[in-house]
Amino acid sequence: MKVPFTDLKAQHAPVKEELCRAFEKVIDSGEFAGGPFVAKFEKDFSAYCGTRHAVGVGSGTDALRLTLAAMGVGSGDEVITVPMSFIATAEAISLTGAKPVFVDIDPATYTMNPDLLRKVLSRRTKAIIPVQLFGQSADMDPILAFAREHGLRVIEDAAQSHGAEYGGRKVGSLGDAGCFSFYPAKNLGAIGEAGAVVTDDDALAEKIRVLRDHGQSGKHHHTMIGWNGRMDEIQGAALSIKLRDLDGGNRARRSHAAEYERLLSGLEDIVLPVTGANRSHVFHIHAIRSSDRGTLMRALDEEGIGYGIHYPTPIHLQRAYQFLGHQRGAFPASELCADTFLSLPVFPELTPAQVETVAAAVTAASTACVTA
């Protein structure tokens, strides 16, 4: 049985007709960027996250970049984050003129290790961006306490954790702002590119609204240098519809993850995901670890089973960030994960038979590795 890594056709099939009707309404309205359909989604998403505001933008990268700019982060400043993330986290920092400063991840949860923050704090540090990686929150209480102690802003990179919780609160609502991507393969995915910033800070939300629209406070009144970072109406309409299914999809992902744990626990060469204390996991990515990843990849390829590698090269070792001067060994937990991660299919529409097929292939390959 072939199993894809993800299946967006299956995801959209139940709501395809409703989506098409919504798109017709957008076309008939004659409004295509930053209009009533985006406003409705912003209202729905802020209510879902438990925040006063949601500001729709063009992508998750826009969300990070505009939030940093709205907070006044710029040239000469430093922002602490982690090297185990998609490069957009660091790119957004760099595009403001600031410098990304890395701390390593916790080797169990793969999120920011709060114990390392003090080692990289400097007089130039302005903010912290914990990455809520793979579908769960970082350990936010010590991160927020450290930020309060030193007068730093906290921006959650929540691009992979729509609906996850920490201490009973939704990811995105924990720091000064939360930044989301709605890239199509996310737990809440658009029909193209889109993102949002959620916050309880009235002034911050208003500044991001101005910045996303070329710095306009009103038509042709540009009060600051901004950016074209608006969400379009098609995405707002689609996201309002798909938001209704987010919790159900997350429950299905948790169910698949629990079945993988049941079927794969005890394998000598496989490290399964761990959910941190006081957290709920929504499994945007189900990343296992294997010391013989190459053999496992070949076995899955032979069986027609899709997989992913998130991420094979941590940011500090990417050519684009060589100027920071980091060498291999600088962030050992991130590097170990980069060398051993393999992501299994976990999309909501997986069938029990498909989960069993994936688990059987992993078991056979892992057992062969150990006995070889």
Query: The pTM is what?
Result: 0.97
- 369: pLDDT strictly greater than 80: no
**Percentage of the chain exceeding pLDDT 70:** 99
| Torsion 238-241-247-249 (CA) sign | negative
Output the CATH code of domain 246-371: 3.90.1150.10
195 near 181, Cβ under 8 Å?
Answer: yes
Q: What is the pLDDT of residue 371?
A: 58
Burial of 202 (0-12, 13-18, 19+ CB in 10 A): exposed
Structure tokens that stand for 56 in this block: 């729709």
Q: What is the pLDDT of residue 218?
A: 86
Output the CATH code of domain 8-243: 3.40.640.10
Q: Residue 2, CB half-sphere, CA atoms under 13 Å: how many?
A: 6
Which part of the chain has CATH 3.40.640.10? 8-243
- 115: pLDDT strictly greater than 90: yes
d(CA 307, CA 228): 35
272 near 110, Cβ under 8 Å?
Answer: no
Beta-sheet strand order (sheet of 177-181): 53-57, 195-199, 177-181, 153-157, 125-128, 78-81, 99-102
Which part of the chain has CATH 3.90.1150.10? 246-371
- 368: pLDDT strictly greater than 90: no
Per-residue pLDDT of 16-75, as tens digits, reads 999 999 999 999 999 888 899 999 999 999 999 999 999 999 999 999 999 999 999 999
d(CA 313, CA 316): 8
Residue showing tokens 């089973």: 305
- Grouping H, G, I as helix, E, B as strand and the rest as coil, residue 290 is strand
- Grouping H, G, I as helix, E, B as strand and the rest as coil, residue 233 is helix
Q: What is the pLDDT of residue 309?
A: 98
| Torsion 297-298-299-300 (CA) sign | positive
d(CA 302, CA 3): 12
Per-residue pLDDT of 161-186, as tens digits, reads 999 999 999 999 999 999 999 999 99
Q: What is the pLDDT of residue 253?
A: 98
d(CA 351, CA 346): 10
d(CA 118, CA 180): 27
Burial of 4 (0-12, 13-18, 19+ CB in 10 A): middle
Per-residue pLDDT of 280-335, as tens digits, reads 999 999 999 999 999 999 999 999 999 999 999 999 999 999 999 999 999 999 99
Bridge partners, 159 (sequence order): none
d(CA 68, CA 93): 7
Per-residue pLDDT of 139-165, as tens digits, reads 999 999 999 999 999 999 999 999 999
Burial of 247 (0-12, 13-18, 19+ CB in 10 A): middle
Q: What is the pLDDT of residue 372?
A: 55
